[in-house]
Structure 1
Amino acid sequence: MTLSWLQIARLGLVQAALGAIVVLTTSTLNRLMVVELALPAVLPGLLVALHYGIQLTRPQWGFRSDTGGNRTRWIIGGMFILALGGFGAACGVVLLQSSYWAGLALSVLAYAAIGLGVGASGTSLLALLASTTAPHRRAAAATITWLMMIFGIAMTAGVVGAMLHPYSPALLLKIVGIVSIAVCVLTIVAVWGIEARTTALPQPEALPFRQGLTEIWQEPRARAFTIFVFLSMTAYFMQELILEPFAGLVFGLTPGQTTSLSGMQNGGVFVGMLLVGIMATGFKRGSLRAWVIAGCLGSCAALCLISLIGTLGLVAFLIPLVVALGFFNGMFAVAAIGSMMALAGEGRHRREGTRMGLWGAAQAVAAGFGGLTGAAIVDVLRLAQFGDAQAFGAVFVIEAALFVAAALMAMRIMTRTPLQSYAVAGE
């Protein structure tokens, strides 16, 4: 028995819960540190890089869920750790105002917990999806679950942005606490009983983890896709930590307004993913390669225009261009995600969890590297007496160039196979 559509949608709720916590730490709390607390952008960049760096453990989490059975316990346990880390991160921001070193220590612990939670819960969830979804449903399942994650991100950012005005530390803690409790309850309700009703059982693993991971890396498809994931996700995440500070410093937006802006961006991602899902699954239009290339090039154009309006001070164009950036990001991302789902079951021993962990680790390293690099470049340029608009704009242009590089790589490694098949060249 494989997953039904209802069960796929229920698992998508877990993705929405993951996104709800992560968006608070990478957007709202990041902006508060840079703008309200006037801290260097590299500080939240290092904290976010820490949580992504800890996600290098994703292959190990995937391996454990492959061989130890009961992926459900890893999903629920990881979510509780993530929620605790999210609330701790909010407490760290509040404490930073009165005691810098105590606040920093708490923030480090909190972001480490976030990395562990995302690694354990997210990897096990994707492995469960990949191993229990019928092959002909994998494309749609990838679209559904990521649409729900983006919906969770956009809804959380929008609602929190509206509720956080006017900003106060007590209100921040109250809101983050409510969100943390809600995602834990939602996760339990979403996953309870699903794994027991499917036929997917953990594969016996005769090889030790390191040897099994080495064999997967030797698979041409898995290796080529890992490199593509790193390059494209570096481009995807480079603006993550600087978009809200950019809107606050260059255009004077409030914390609530910039959080809402982040929600609008992820709303654009949602629409972009939905469009690809409808066109590919419903109308059977386009190939994986075509959607990835179009998304990368569209993201490049949006970033260049955002850089331009910052220099010219054209605030009226900010929201449309940020939404457009999200839209093209969504087009690119859903095709890459669907390919990941399909390829997870290929190769030796069908180690879905270990493969998903490998690609999740590549994404995490890219996200941490991209976000930290973007924040560091902004700090260096501002110290060099560049204006805020020029400093942020330079990073957006660099990110645009990386999207072009990702599009060129997609042209080389991806086939023209229709999106439903999700094939990647590499052999």
Structure 2
Amino acid sequence: MTLSWLSIVRLGLVQMALGSIVVLTTSTLNRLMVVELALPAVLPGLLVALHYGIQISRPNWGFLSDTGGNRTRWILGGMAMLGAGGMLAAFGVVALEDSFEMGLGLSVLAYALIGVGVGASGTSLLALLATATEPRRRPAAAMITWLMMIAGIAVTAGLVGAALDPYSPALLLEIVAVVCLGAFVLSFLATWGVERGLAPAPATEKRMPFREGLAEIWSEPKARAFTIFVFLSMCAYFMQELILEPYAGLVFDFTPGQSTQLSGAQNGGVFVGMLAVGILATGFGIGALRDWVVAGCLGSAAALLAIGAIGQLGAALLLPATIALGVFNGMFAVAAIGSMMALAGEGRSAREGTRMGLWGAAQAIAAGFGGLAGAALVDLLRLGMEAGPAFGIVFAGEACLFVGAAIMASRIMEGRKVTRPRAPNIGTEGVGDV
């Protein structure tokens, strides 16, 4: 028994909820630390790197969900920890205004909880999708779930940005509480009964040690090569995550609400890029996933060069360049995720969660390293030059990484076109139909 289209959409709601919490920590809270509290960009960079670094445990979460026979409990448990971490992170920012030590301690604990929550919930969710989705539907499932996640990020960033002006600590705590509680409730409702009818993992899988299971996956040439590609491309993808909003605030004098809305516009562009690939590649069979990955990487590089160059030209061009970056990011991301979903089911069976965990860990390490490197480089360059050129150099370096990722993708990914799935028949087949 496999997932119906309705069940896939329901699981996409979990991705939407996850993204709505994470975007607060990587954009809004990050900007408040750097601009309003005048802290070095490397501080939120280290905190975000911590939450990504903890996600090196993703293969273990995937292995546990492979052998435990119930992925839903890991999804919901992870979302509970993520919500608690998001709320605690907001308290940490407020505490930083009065006591650096207290605020830093709360923030470290918060971002650790966020890392554990994202690792447990995100990996188990992807494993459930990879295991229970028909192979012909996997690219479409990847598109649907990630479009919903980006929609959650974009909508949350836009609404929070509008609601946060004029900024006050009390208002921040109120907004974050609403987002975190709403995200957990939505996840609970979305996963209720979805696994009903799916067979549990064989009991023999429970006795295999985690290291042995991971070693089996690493010995697969495709899985190993794709892990390296994920690391390089995600380094490029995440380098701007912690510096785009501070760039808008320091160089263009954007308010907290305006810079959060800029982040929302970028993620709106990501949504458009993902939708374009989903319609053209999955719906009409135009282009192979590899071609979309390469085009997205090269387009992202060009947009980053433009964003860095307009630091001397004015804010009027920042919004369209940022939206363009989002569109090309979305093209790259959904094509790469579609390839990941397809590869997760290849090789030894009952290891989908472990494979997704391995690639998730590579993504998390790259995201933490890339975000921290971008923030640290900006801080170092600003010691000897104005903010505009400093940010511009970092954006140019990120563009070079995207070009390298495009070259690697063209060499290691297959050029097969996506097979068009049959028209959705919502609510009449598979599990989770209620």
- Measured against the shorter chain, the TM-score band is over 0.9
1:202 deviates by: 5.4
CA separation in 2, counterparts of 1:279 and 1:135?
19
Q: What letter matches 1:123 in structure 2?
A: T
Partner of 1:118: 118
Change (3 A) 1:193 1:46: same
CA–CA separation in structure 2 for the residues paired with 1:207 and 1:273 = 38
CA distance in 2, matches of 1:30, 1:420: 41
CA distance in 2, matches of 1:119, 1:245: 27
Letter in 2 for 1:330: G
CA distance in 1, matches of 2:115, 2:13: 19
Q: Give the Cα–Cα distance (whole angstroms) in 2 for the partners of residues 72 and 298 of structure 1.
A: 37
Q: Which runs of 5+ in 2 are unaligned?
A: 421-434
Matched, 1:255 2:256: yes
Residue 424 of structure 1 is matched in structure 2 by: none
CA RMSD of aligned residues (A): 1.2
How big is the shift at 1:136? Answer: 1.2
Contact 1:132 1:199 in 2 (8 A): no
Residue 197 of structure 1: CA displacement? 3.0
Secondary structure in structure 1 of the residue aligned to 2:349: helix
1:204 shift after superposition: 3.4
Q: Which residue of 1 aligns with 2:38?
A: 38
Tell me which residue corresponds to 1:392: 391
1:69 maps to what in 2? 69
- Aligned counterparts, 1:177-192, within 5 A: 177-192=177-192
**What is aligned with 2:239?**
238
1:366-405 aligned within 5 A: 366-383=366-383, 385-405=384-404
State the number of aligned residues. Answer: 420
- 8 Å contact 2:267–2:326 — kept in the other structure? yes
After TM superposition, give the deviation of residue 313 of structure 1 in Å.
3.1
Hey, which bits of structure 1, 4+ residues long, moved more than 4 A? none
**SS of structure 2 residue aligned to 1:324:** helix
1:407 to 2:424 alignment? no
CA distance in 1, matches of 2:202, 2:91: 39
How far, CA to CA, are the matches of 2:356 and 2:340 in structure 1?
7
Distance 2:224 2:310 in 1: 39
User: Is 1:224–2:220 an aligned residue pair?
Assistant: no
Aligned ranges for residues 19-168 of structure 1 at < 5 Å?
19-168=19-168
State the Cα deviation string for residues 235-287 of structure 1 (Å, max 9, x = none): 00000000000000000000000000000000000000000000012111001
Residues 141-199 of structure 1: per-residue CA shift (max 9 Å, x gap)? 01000000000000000000000011110000000000011001000000010011334
Aligned partner of 1:279 in structure 2 is: 280
Q: Secondary structure at the match of 2:334?
A: helix
User: Which amino acid counterpart does residue 404 of structure 1 have in structure 2?
Assistant: V
Aligned residue type for 2:310 = I
1:335 paired residue number: 335
The farther-off stretch of 202-211 and 339-348 is: 202-211
Aligned to 1:419: 418
Range moving further from structure 2, 410-419 or 172-181 = 410-419
Counterpart Cα distance in 2 of 1:277 and 1:4: 18
User: For residues 42-78 of structure 1, what are the alpha-carbon distances to aligned partners after superposition, in whole Å with 9 as ceiling and x for unaligned?
Assistant: 0000000000000000000000000112111110110
Whole-Å separation in 2 of the counterparts to 1:28 and 1:138: 33
Cα 1:200–1:281 change in 2 (3 A) is farther
2:203 & 2:182 partners in 1: Cα distance? 33
Alpha carbons of structure 1 residues 140 and 370: separation in structure 2 relative to 1, 3 Å? same
> Which ranges in structure 1 are unaligned for 5 or more consecutive residues?
422-427
Is the 8 Å Cα contact of residues 63 and 354 (structure 1) preserved in structure 2? Answer: yes
